[in-house]
Amino acid sequence: MVKNPGMLLSLLSVMLLSACSSIKAAEPIIPPQAVTSLQVIGGLHGSKNSPLYLPLDSTGTNVINKVVGWINHSPSVRDETLMEKHGYPKILRIVTKDGNHLDAEPAYHCESKKLDDYRTLKTCTNIGGEVLLSSGSGRLRLHSQALYDWLIEGWKQE
């Protein structure tokens, strides 16, 4: 159940506008002060998650402001946002004060090909510099090389 329809409404408004063209959001997708935690999770089995960043200390506040700033200032990408599930991507999980969460993951393009023996071969290619932002069933594809790089490896340098 969605506890704050305002945040989802903001995300959905940006998504509707992005269907028309590549734009920057007029309103922030998520205000930094709404964030209670931020963490990179997932990946291959046995891989480590990032630290849990909280707005309770300077490191957490700085990371939250930087990452949320990238999200809020990234232009949307006018392209398919309903991407197939694939592998074990790293996911950036942002939890908000109202209990909702936004997830960001690297964007992929997947193609399926039927083989002669009736099997299906699925190939997914990473789309560098693009991330898929999702909340519930809402999805928005953003172009942010900085966010993409941070999600892939940059968080390890914090």
Specify the amino acid at residue 22. Answer: S
Q: What is the pLDDT of residue 15?
A: 41
Could you tell me which of 103, 91, 101 has the C-alpha nearest to residue 3?
A: 101
Could you tell me which of 73, 71, 39, 72 has the C-alpha nearest to residue 55?
A: 39
Residue whose token pair is 């309103």: 27
Give CA 60 to chain center in angstroms. 18
E-strand stretches of the chain? 35-42, 90-96, 101-114, 120-135, 138-143
Helix, coil or strand: residue 149:
helix
For 96-136, the pLDDT digits (tens) are: 999 999 999 988 878 888 999 999 988 888 888 999 998 88
Could you tell me which of 71, 62, 124, 121 has the C-alpha nearest to residue 94?
A: 71
Report the chain's mean pLDDT, rounded to a whole number. Answer: 80
Please give the model's pTM, rounded to 2 decimal places. Answer: 0.75
Q: Which residue has the higher pLDDT, 69 or 110?
A: 69
Q: What is the pLDDT of residue 17?
A: 38
Contact of 141 with 132, CB cutoff 8 Å: yes
What distance in Å separates the CA atoms of residue 87 and residue 13, rounded to the nearest whole number?
30
For 5-33, the pLDDT digits (tens) are: 444 434 434 443 333 333 444 578 899 99
Judge whether residue 37 has pLDDT over 90: yes
What number is the average pLDDT over the span 73-87?
Answer: 70
Nearby residues of 89 by Cβ (< 8 Å), 6 or more positions away = 42, 43, 105, 106, 108
